[in-house]
Amino acid sequence: MPAAPRVSDGCYTFTPSGLLLISSALPVIGAMLIELRRGIALHPATFTAVIAPEAVILAALNGNPDLRRFLFLFICGNYSRLISRISRDAANFEVRRPFTADQLLTILNEAGHTIIFIEHDPTLFEGAGHLLGPLSSALKQAGQESLVILYAPAMDRSFSALARQADRLIELLLPQEPERRQPYLGTRSVRDSALPKAQQTLEVS
């Protein structure tokens, strides 16, 4: 069970019991990190679930030119709110689009990237709730060596299940943003959600 949240400057940070929260104010020598907001950074070898406005996550990804030096895997569903607004000029930036939860699990098990960013798509899990546990474990496993980020603009049931084994759950709110937001329903249409399970994933360079 997660400990009580730490609340400061519009940020809620939950840390599972027994885990140490490392402040980004500490020096990190020879390491790569992604700063979401001053004093809030994501470090290598961690699995972090992040709920934040799109503008915040885009600024964090586009505002750090050093990320181009690392192998970056961006995973999203059939439609993405972010991918068209992320700088993708680096040769080591890879995009993969799973159409099913099974395909997402395969991608995570095969990933060997320094950074793995998953833009949550709840429609992947319609009729595949039995895979939420294995996927949460796969995210945790990947986070032992990579910087793994599971992102959504708002909480939903499948996101909560996937984040169950996260080292940190961070929620960032804009100053005037209400604390209670509407559930995130994803961006895929009903027609897209009916894609056959045998369809291959897309790889975009």
User: Do residues 111 and 95 lie in contact, with contact meaning Cβ atoms separated by under 8 Å?
Assistant: no
Tokens for 28, please give them.
């990190």
> Is 80 inside any structural domain?
yes
State pTM to two decimals. 0.73
- Name the pairing type of β-strands 115-119 and 147-152: parallel
> Is 71 inside any structural domain?
yes
> Is 110 inside any structural domain?
yes
> Is 200 inside any structural domain?
no
Q: What is the domain range of residue 84?
A: 6-16+32-179
pLDDT at 129: 95
> Is 46 inside any structural domain?
yes
| Terminal-residue alpha carbon distance, the chain | 39
> Is 24 inside any structural domain?
no
Nearest-angstrom CA–CA distance, 168 and 48: 5
Hey, is 24 helix, strand or coil? coil
Nearest-angstrom CA–CA distance, 59 and 160: 24
Q: Provide the residue-wise pLDDT of the chain in tens; the chain has 205 residues.
A: 444 444 444 454 444 432 323 333 333 334 477 888 888 888 899 999 999 999 999 999 998 888 888 999 999 997 899 999 998 777 889 999 999 999 999 999 999 999 999 999 999 999 999 999 999 999 999 999 999 999 999 999 999 999 999 999 999 976 665 554 555 455 443 333 333 333 343 444 3
> Is 189 inside any structural domain?
no
Any idea what the CATH number is for the domain that residue 110 is in?
A: 3.40.50.300
Domain count across the chain = 1
Give pLDDT tens digits for 136-191: 999 999 999 999 999 999 999 999 999 999 999 999 976 665 554 555 455 443 33
pLDDT at 203: 40
> Is 203 inside any structural domain?
no
Please give the full DSSP string across 169-185, using - where no structure is assigned.
EEEE--TT--SS-PPP-
